[in-house]
Structure formats: C-alpha cells, structure tokens
Amino acid sequence: MMVLHIHRRGPRTTASFSIMAPPVLSTPEQYQELLDSVDTFLLDCDGVLYHGSNVVPGIKQVLPMLRRAGKKIIFVTNNASKSRRMYVDTFRKLGLEAQAEEIFGSGYASAVYLSKVLNFPKDKRVYVIGEVGLEEELDSVGIGHSGGTDPEDRVFMEKDGFGDIKPDPSIGAVLCGFDIHINYKKYAKAFSYMRDNKDCHFLLTNQDPTYPTSFATGDPDQPIRHTIFPGSGSISYPLVYASKRTPTVIGKPNTTMMDAILAEHQFDPKRALMVGDNLATDIEFGINSGVRTLLVMGGVTKREAIFGDEPSKTVPDFVMESFGDLAVLDKQ
C-alpha cells in the first residue's frame, strides 16, 4: 500500500462508530504517486468520465495519458441497457476511445455469469426484462431469449389478459435490468415462469435504486439538470417482492462482476484501483473485491457522506475532486 505524504484528518466519533476520513489528493505530486502505484484502472463511467452527454473536463487528456503510460483501463458500469458495442459508439461520440474488450457492463457480466458460471443449458432461454443492449450481450454468448424488446411484450395488458400468459418450460432464467418499457405484462410473465418452475434462475443485472440522468431544461439559469429517477434495482423489485426469492445480483457492489472481469483479464488486484462516484456501488465493489478505491466528487456522493459529522461506513482509500484533474500530469 502506498504512503501518501498528506495528513489524514483525525478520527471522528459518532454515536456508534469511529471513522477515519480518507486522504484527499489534490496536488500533482499526490497524483503522480497514485499513478505510480497503479497498473490497472477500473473506471466507473457515468459520474467519472461524463455526466450524461457532458464529458468531465480533463478526461479526454487523462485516458490517452494513462494508455501511453502503459496502464490497463477497464470500464466497469452497472448500466445494462447498453451493450459493449453500444458503449464503444457512445464513447466515440463523446470523443473518447474504448475497445469492446475493455468494457464490462452488468449486461455482459450477466451473460458471462449465465454462460460460464451457471453453464446455462443450450435448450433453455432467458426471459429478459431489459433493453436491446442486454439482448445483444446474451446473443454474444449464444444464449437465446424472449421478452426484452419483443413488441408483443411492450404493451399494456388488460385485466382479462391473465389467461394469455402461457406456461413456457423453455424459460430457464429470468434476467431483469433497466427497462424503460417496463409494464405489467412483463412482470406477470416473468413472475409466472418463476412461480411455475422453482428451478428457473432469477438474476438482476444490478440493484441500483436510482438512475442518474441529465437533460436540457430550456432554462438559461440552469440549462442542464442532473437528477435521479428510479433505477434498475427498483424496476426489478416487484419480482423480488412478489416471488419472495433472493435473486443473484450481478453488478457492483457484488463480486460476481469481478469474477466476470477476471475471467477475461489478468491483473494484480494489489496494483489495481477502482474509481467511482458512488459509495454503495463503486467503492463497496472495490472493497468487496480487494482492490483499492478512489472516490471522485461531483457525482452522486455528497461531501457530507465522507466529511460530515455522520460519515458513511463505506470509506474509500482516496478522494479526488475529479478524475479529470489528473490531466495536470499530461506532459504532451
């Protein structure tokens, strides 16, 4: 573990526990020391590299700089609505570079988990609550599926429609991710497959309660609004509550995601760093996986959660204002 030449704040005692605040990196010397200690950067995307369609200042310099320095970069995102292919496109449009192999979305990780961990039978299919990106990732590992973007499941059913929900013994798993076309027919079908078959697997791409997004407001005083809406974990919850089952959750902070990454990349966890803006997903994921963690501000974590009187029990190894601040090291 590197030693940083800065002073940690002293321990603060709250009602039930005492927590040491993490060191805040803010000088070029501290940034360089961090870089020297890391070979592999595991980077959350939204909140670290960009906010919606706005690239974080400095990031366009930082990523090529890390590559030139021989660092391995792996993008680790809970967003399952985009496939790796779609992420490459998104990155290109934002002026960032990425290879499909560098990208681990929770959709791809779910497909890998089904295929490699569960050895999902070839004659079974997955019922998908989710979008085209999730379907693409199942396709990429050769797993058949139904639901998802099928227009027959993007409808509002009526109360006399229950009889139309037929048993389907070919369904071997329900996989639930973010689905902006969620509707009762999808819930009813997914529920019925689990109700009628106790061996049907139940997977969530992730359990994020909220989904951060941003949009143009038309208000000159606040042209872009960053806010949150119900996320994938929330959308999935009706099936958890109705079925009374405990799903297998793939995305951060669960180590299933790291298992999927390590199945395709070799690296030394001691020389890796998970960078994210979310304590509950990114930082917990790093801690659960035995990797050091760097929290960046400006995303979903409020400053009080780290430096307030009642700090979160989840403490990153380091804090930085923005991952883009590393651009100050760029000699080119």
Q: Is residue 325 flagged as an active site residue? A: no
Among 253, 251, 100, CA closest to 177: 251
90 scored as a contact of its own copies (CB under 8 A): no
**Residue 134 in the binding site for its own copies (CB under 8 A):** no
Q: Which two tokens stand for residue 197?
A: 């078959």
* Between 70 and 223, CB nearer to its own copies: 223
The minimum distance between CB 221 and its own copies, in angstroms, equals 14
Query: Least separation, in Å, of the C-beta of 154 and its own copies?
Result: 7
Identity (one letter) of the amino acid at 81? Answer: S
> Considering the rule CB under 8 A, would residue 244 count as an interface residue with its own copies?
yes
Q: Which residue, 184 or 267, is less far from its own copies as judged by CB? A: 184
CB of 180 to its own copies, least distance (A): 5
Shortest spacing between CB 234 and its own copies, in angstroms: 4
How far apart are alpha carbons 208 and 299 in whole angstroms? Answer: 15
Report how far residue 232's alpha carbon sits from residue 91's, in angstroms, rounded to the nearest whole number.
22
Beta strands in 165-217 (DSSP E): 171-176, 201-204, 210-216
Smaller CB distance to its own copies: residue 174 or 258? 174
Number of residues that bind its own copies (CB under 8 A): 43
Residues 182-211 that bind its own copies (CB under 8 A): 182-184, 187-188, 191-192, 195, 209-210
- Helix H, strand E, coil C: the string for 210-277 is EEEEEEECCCCCCCEEEEEEECHHHHHHHHHHHHCCCCEECCCCCCHHHHHHHCCCCCCHHHEEEEEC
150 a catalytic residue: no
Bridging pattern class, strands 201-204 and 248-249: parallel
- For residue 52, the 8-state DSSP code is T
- Check if the beta carbon of residue 239 is closer than 8 Å to that of residue 194: yes
From 39, 46, 309, 317, active-site residue: 46
**Interacting residues toward its own copies by CB under 8 A:** 154, 156-160, 162-163, 165, 179-184, 187-188, 191-192, 195, 209-210, 213, 215-218, 225, 227-231, 233-235, 237-242, 244
Q: Which residues are catalytic?
A: 44, 46
